[in-house]
Amino acid sequence: MTNGEVAEGSADQYALKVADGSYKWYRSHAIRSRQSHKWTQVLLVLTSAAIPVSGLANRGGALLPSLIGAVVFILVGLRSTFHWHENYLRYSQAREAVEAERRSFHVGAPPYDDRAKRAQLLVAAVTRIEQEEMGTWLRTVSMEPKAGPSLAARPAND
């Protein structure tokens, strides 16, 4: 074997290690994103419902409803900052795409039926899936509203 060549068995092992690592990462992050999304949704419903109740319980006092409203505002901000729902969907899609490639690799289905190229093809497929997911993430965060210049930074009209 010359430098740069990899034994067939170790190439397959490496390719599976890449695919398995990608699958596990997307799986764990999809679960975490789904849980974060669900918890913020539940907290938003509960705190939103508590605003009018606190107003009735504390007649004339605006402090408690205002604080609860601030919690709602914070939760909405966290949700739009961290994109938990969008992440869950992207990560789940990528995880399933990697899993489909792993299954095909394990049974030698096309394009993994050529022993000489199967490891190279699996690594290329997993890399493509990861790059596509990253591209989707970039589009998601690039659509976020950008803060404009503050009023203090604007020149005064004379």
Domain boundaries, the chain: 19-141
86-115 pLDDT tens trace: 999 999 999 999 999 999 999 999 999 999
What percent of the chain lies above the pLDDT cut of 90?
77
pLDDT at 7: 58
Mean pLDDT taken over the chain: 88
Of 137, 119, 121, 126, the closest CA to residue 95 belongs to 126
Residue 151: is its pLDDT beyond 80? Answer: no
32-41 pLDDT tens trace: 999 999 999 9
pLDDT at 102: 98
Please report the beta strands in the chain, taking only residues with DSSP state E, as ranges in sequence order.
none
pLDDT at 154: 40
78-84 contacts at long range (C-beta below 8 A, 24 or more positions apart): 78/40, 79/37, 79/40, 79/44, 80/144, 82/36, 83/140, 83/141, 84/33, 84/34, 84/36, 84/37, 84/40
CB 94 within 8 A of CB 129: yes
Sign of CA dihedral 35, 37, 38, 43: positive
Residues sharing a CB contact under 8 Å with residue 7, sequence separation 6 or more, in sequence order = 1
In angstroms, the CA 71 to CA 77 distance is 10
112-137 pLDDT tens trace: 999 999 999 999 999 999 999 999 99
**Averaged pLDDT for residues 49-53:** 93
